[in-house]
Amino acid sequence: MSNCIGIIPARYQSSRFPGKPLARLGDMTMIERVTRQASKALDRVIVATDDERIYDEVRRFGGEVVMTSPDHRSGTDRVAEAYRKSGADADVIVNIQGDEPFVEPQQISQLTSLFVDPTTDIATLVRPFDPARGFEALFDPNLVKVVTAGNGDALYFSRSVIPYVRGTEWQQWLAKTRYLTHVGMYAYRPAVLAEIVNMPQSPLEISESLEQLRWLQAGYRIATAETTYDNIGIDTPADLEAAIAKLSAI
């Protein structure tokens, strides 16, 4: 879809990995690598940050960057401010995670293609859960599960295992049903993004600490596209080591 803009929220402070946008992956920083990957699918990509060190790094490698408030509670809020300041007039805004250096251009294209349908408000990605990973991975609350309707729209996201398989011991669940997990990349129509960042948190969002539940409770349609790419999100220095190993194997 034409006239799409990518915005990468990138903050310096992180309880588990301070300064991770500036961590080096091979011959470039993580934020440069994410920006270059996103630029393969989008004509305009902006980094939204609250830190001068990240700002300076993006300027160094020739990227576009916008300074935003340090007080945002989520990356979505930071994306909304950056979009307002950018002066852009896009049809679709893509929120690209700043800690996923192996984001695939095809994933971004999958998201934006969902907006050919004029009823799509928000779009995100899902990935089939690999049963070989086992029950411990499936039950991990940091791995967000999702169930979808027949047309691919998201019905619910949860840190719990959904769906529950009634009448079957949990050890057999992986053999009985197909599980989908959430990939934290979003795209929105600009008017919808402006609305959702001004909404109060919803009861479900507070319970599960998942902002997309606020949008579902408010009645927004979240379309999904299925990806099989195995993105590596970097939350800790150990994750960075795994990413460096993956890079060296490419």
What pLDDT sits at residue 15? 67
pTM for this model (two decimals): 0.94
The full 3-state SS of 186-235, as one line of letters, equals EEECHHHHHHHCCCCCCHHHHHHCCCHHHHHHCCCCEEEEECCCCCCCCC
- Measured between alpha carbons, how far is 38 from 44 in angstroms, rounded to an integer? 9
What pLDDT sits at residue 250? 65
Helix (H) or strand (E) holding 66: strand 64-67
For 80-90, the pLDDT digits (tens) are: 999 999 999 99
- Measured between alpha carbons, how far is 65 from 77 in angstroms, rounded to an integer? 16
Q: Which CATH code fits 4-229?
A: 3.90.550.10
Q: Which residues of the chain have pLDDT under 70?
A: 1-2, 15, 249-250
What pLDDT sits at residue 129? 97
Domain boundaries, given as residue ranges, for the chain: 4-229
Q: Which pair of tokens denotes residue 164?
A: 């529950």
